[in-house]
Amino acid sequence: MDRVWNVRHGCVVVLDVGKTLAKLTMWSPERRLIERRDYRNKLVMSDGYPALDVGGIETWLAETLQAFTRLGDIAAIVPVGHGAAACLIDDDGLCLAPLDYEAEPPSDVRMRHQSLRDPFLLTGSPLLPSGLNLAVQLLWLETIVPDKACRGRIVTWPQYWAWRLCGVAATEVTSLGCHTDLWLPDDGRPSPMAVSQGWAERLAPLHQAGDVFGPVTEEWHDRCALPHDCVVLCGLHDSNAALLAMRGYPEVGGRECTILSTGTWFIAMRSVAADAEVDLAALRENRDCLVNVDVSGRPVPSARFMGGREVELIEEVGTCPVALEDMKYELVRSGEIMIKSGTFVLPTFQKGVGPFPRNVGRWNRQKTVRSARQTCNGGALSRIDGECFARFVRVQGNCGHRRALCRRSGFYASAGGAAPQSANLHFRCEQLSGIRYAAADRFRTSTTRRAYARGTP
């Protein structure tokens, strides 16, 4: 495999397979967005369990790639995806599709998982509900389809798509280190649980996110008219992709800062300086704090909640998109009315996750019109964001108060597209809620392409 790759000779396609949406974007050599297509993922049954929509995503991917080839010369494909899925593959193809991580495992599987898992201080992986810990999914599959679950190689979700496109099986550290219970962030190796259960030896070979696996297979060349020399990269975890991209902006550089990646999940990731000491014991496991791992294998203190899902539940709009330009003034007027009337919404409607996992979301007054719900939603999201950021105050040994998230360390938001209304979330949080993310007194705001940077006044 050649890890020296020049992109100037053609376009790059990014496949982003989230929980709610799969997205395909095409970028010119000058980094200009040429086209974007979305696919709303479906819940399917596979081998008697609720699974991710592998077949539907692949059919849509093939059709969309074929359409993209008519827009320009595709030189490379980069897969990214969420961190709560893995596939089992063998020489004949896919053995088992990934479980839907929102499915609730049986109590005996849950109890067995709790008895086997390693301490949070070792893995940085909190005990999460449903199947959000990948170890739960693997244990559950072993009870549902033991003959299939105990054979084949384990590939993480983004790398499954790399394997499907080019035939190279791999795992990658940003996906292995994402609340799986399978990885030790400080040591850079599989966890004792992964070893004892026999999963570590079945993990596909570990590669770096930027590794070039080689050209697409003849199947995909014939199926989509892709060039023979179109290469596939290893890829990485979606929120880590946002972290990596934000570190490339001059406003960030090597500074200490907090990155907010948005989509189905809102994930706050603390990018610390190379020589900074990190006290992971300060993270609150029971408030959805965790340790991610960046592309270089370094631990990344993180906190999160299901912001995109919270949007849908509060606004009750399903998949209906919101036209920002058509509604922004109405939203501001609604905000003024809500403030004067004292109407607000308390988090969280999505139960079991985030900094308020046991809270029951509710309105303090009777629910109002759609624009008012959207206005209150922006305030609710910013309050939860702020609580996530507050989790980092004691993570760094030299930060004893909220200056960890303000003045000398900026806050940056990277907009995702998993929630139908995600394109409007930053507007709401900025214009309607006072921008209280970082608990600073004043902010200097500059727009950098699709990112919002907050630095020192």
Q: What is the pLDDT of residue 370?
A: 58
Q: Which spans in 342-409 are helix H?
A: 370-390
Q: Token pair of 299, please?
A: 């631990």
| Helix axis angle, 324-341 to 370-390, nearest 10° | 80
Q: Are 303 and 392 in contact (CB under 8 A)?
A: yes
> Whole-angstrom Cα distance, residue 373 to residue 335?
10
Q: pTM for this one?
A: 0.77
Compare 336 and 33 and report the one with higher pLDDT: 33
| Second-level CATH architecture of 11-234 | 2-Layer Sandwich (3.30)
Around Cβ 38, how many Cβ atoms within 10 Å? 18
Q: Which of 181, 176, 183 is nearest to 126 (CA)?
A: 181
pLDDT band at 259 (very low <50, low <70, confident <90, very high): confident
> Whole-angstrom Cα distance, residue 76 to residue 216?
9
Q: What is the pLDDT of residue 318?
A: 54
Domains 11-234 and 237-457 share a fold: yes
Around Cβ 309, how many Cβ atoms within 10 Å? 22
pLDDT band at 323 (very low <50, low <70, confident <90, very high): low
> Whole-angstrom Cα distance, residue 113 to residue 412?
36
Taken in order 345, 413, 179, 120, the sign of the CA dihedral is: negative
Does domain 237-457 fall under CATH 3.40.50.300? My reply is no
* pLDDT, mean of residues 248-255: 77
Q: Where do the structural domains in the chain lie, given as residue ranges?
A: 11-234, 237-457
User: DSSP per residue over 291-340, as a string?
Assistant: EEE-TTS-EEEEEEE-HHHHHHHHHT-TT----HHHHHHHHHHHHHHHHH
pLDDT band at 61 (very low <50, low <70, confident <90, very high): very high
Q: In this predicted model, what pLDDT tens digit does every residue of 87-115 receive, in sequence order?
A: 999 999 999 999 999 999 999 999 999 99
